[in-house]
Copies of this chain bind each other. A is one copy, B any other.
Amino acid sequence: MSQPIRVTIWNEFRHEQTNEKVRAIYPEGIHRAIGEGIQGDYEIGYATLDEPEHGLTEEKLGRTDVLIWWGHKAHKEVNEEIVERVHKRVLEGMGLIVLHSGHFSKIFKKLMGTTCNLKWREADEKERLWVVSPGHPIVEGIGEYIELEQEEMYGEHFEIPQPDELVFVSWFEGGEVFRSGCTYHRGQGKIFYFRPGHETYPTYYNEQVRHVIRNAVEWAAPTGREKPVYGNYKPLEPIKAKQHS
């Protein structure tokens, strides 16, 4: 692909405006910190909940190769029409990277077909994400594990379809485990769920986390192909006439 990958980073962008602790960490918003972390090779755009059409117009999505999604407390405010629009684009081939609390976003639940429920706890505890698929392009350049000194805990059972490829499994200090890096194919699109990134920790400044997101952008970029043909279809081979009973 000679053209740079066009990435749109979507953020709910509410915590940063209402919670001082979060604003202190992400003064320009989580989306900007993520964008800063992957800049260089991509054409990066941003979109947030409170923009018209949540910043995700037909035109903007049409020019998006990979969409990154961070949302948390306002999932319900995301308009159904926009969810349908993103869903359609994923099936057409747009990559989708769903981060952390995005597990409960409408778009992720719609694509998974399940509740995407899990256990959780905010206790400033250690997370260690172990690589379990060492040859996967998403872990290129990543060591045996990524250690985050403080994160929110997410624990199993995580009610998702079995991932096509399980890339990371997290260990938590408090005694739980979690499938933290999961890939899916839906239609022509590729989806990566990546667990870390609670808003009260500086996770998106972590160089390893940023590296994984960059790798995921490369992996999720669309495969150039014509759309599959559906519907009524003429035979490619002759069909013998049969005697009806």
Contacts and interface: CB of A to CB of B under 8 A. Distances in A.
17 contacts: A91-B115, A91-B159, A111-B114, A114-B187, A130-B155, A130-B156, A131-B156, A132-B156, A133-B185, A134-B223, A135-B222, A139-B223, A140-B223, A149-B242, A169-B169, A171-B177, A173-B237
A73 interface: no
Contact residues on A (Cβ < 8 Å of other chain), bracket: 35 or more
Interface string A197-224: 0000000000000000000000000111
Interface string A80-121: 000000000001010000000000000000111111011111
B237 A174 contact: yes
B187 A225 contact: no
Given A155-B233, A171-B171, A190 B117 contact: no
Nearest to A124: B242
Total copies of the chain: 4
Given A115-B187, A132-B156, A157-B131, A174 B121 contact: no
A207 to B, nearest CB: 16
A91 B114 contact: yes
A125 B157 contact: no
Contacts of A231: 117, 119-120
